[in-house]
Structure 1
């Protein structure tokens, strides 16, 4: 795990920290994931760097082998958690796919800011986080993933993403590593 730099034009993307998902059983205590994601949000606000808060409300329409049950969700299921304390300057996006780029204006927004890098946190590692990281990498962004600010519902697949997939498309490190880099690179 090594984070070499945080570019001057870096945005934080927080994936799917929302009411309906943070109540599910995850392979890491969700309180720690929320705490570390909120530390990143505070850091990016302090450094006047852009923040994108993403939630999911729906699913992509394609066929899958695994049966996907569309059930009625509670009214606040897709609402971002209060701890993120969304601000007016934060971009809030709702997606209906795993990745945050495919069904939103995220790339257009980041391009308008001349962003060259994204830092990603959130849930679930192998779905929203990995898909967003892959899409960002394919679009030419430098990608950084806060490994202690992401989690999944299965430890084996989480570990596969962190140990095998992410090093091929991103730099990875802890929230503390990112805080140290921002403090150094944006002093």
Structure 2
């Protein structure tokens, strides 16, 4: 099926390309490659007057974040550098970008993302960022439950491991949207 991206009703949503996360080891793509592709997508969306949403995760004291009892090792304490939540400079944040601060994995819960998309008559989101199976997948599931059409940019996202990335792309995303590359999305913008 040929992809067409109507820029008037489509938003680019970039997940967690912030200084405290892009330093992690990504797989199967290096985080630097993901940053470069997401920056390219943001540039093209802006050139076509599209809506760009940049999402980052942050907390002042950690009290607004989730703290479940889990079998996995606990997350690192909140001793994060002051610039942990700052967007990477390669994104070249613009005044027209909508910035979303989330306090858990997904970008919809507890934020104004859904409201801002609906006010602009957005019905489709192009989703990319880090990590494929955490922030990107949770946001995708939330968007699916809100009836958004979705395009997942497979080479503009990466997981913390190749297995996690591949699982999401193979088993989750095909059920809730379309999977394309950066080049395919850029070439489909109308």
* 1:123 aligned to which of 121, 127, 130: 130
Name the structure 2 match of 1:137.
144
Name the structure 2 match of 1:156.
163
After superposition, residues 15-34 of structure 1 pair within 5 angstroms as: 15-27=15-27, 28-34=29-35
Q: 1:45 and 1:138 mapped to 2: Cα distance?
A: 27
Query: Is residue 2:176 matched to residue 1:172?
Result: no
Name the structure 1 match of 2:48.
47
CA contact under 8 A between 1:11 and 1:52: conserved in structure 2? yes
Taking structure 1 as the reference length, what is the TM-score of the superposition? 0.93
Taking structure 2 as the reference length, what is the TM-score of the superposition? 0.91
Q: 1:33 and 1:158 mapped to 2: Cα distance?
A: 13
Q: Cα RMSD between the aligned structures? A: 1.3
CA contact under 8 A between 2:3 and 2:185: conserved in structure 1? no
Q: 2:183 and 2:132 mapped to 1: Cα distance?
A: 19
Q: 1:74 and 1:149 mapped to 2: Cα distance?
A: 26
Count residues with an aligned counterpart.
Answer: 182
CA contact under 8 A between 2:102 and 2:110: conserved in structure 1? yes
* 1:73 aligned to which of 54, 77, 80: 80
Query: Is residue 2:57 matched to residue 1:64?
Result: no
Query: Is residue 2:121 matched to residue 1:114?
Result: yes
- Unpaired runs of 5+ in structure 1? none
Q: 1:56 and 1:73 mapped to 2: Cα distance?
A: 12
CA contact under 8 A between 2:54 and 2:98: conserved in structure 1? yes
Q: 1:32 and 1:154 mapped to 2: Cα distance?
A: 15
Q: 2:3 and 2:96 mapped to 1: Cα distance?
A: 28
Cα distance per residue 1:68-90 (max 9 Å; x no partner): 33231000011100111111110
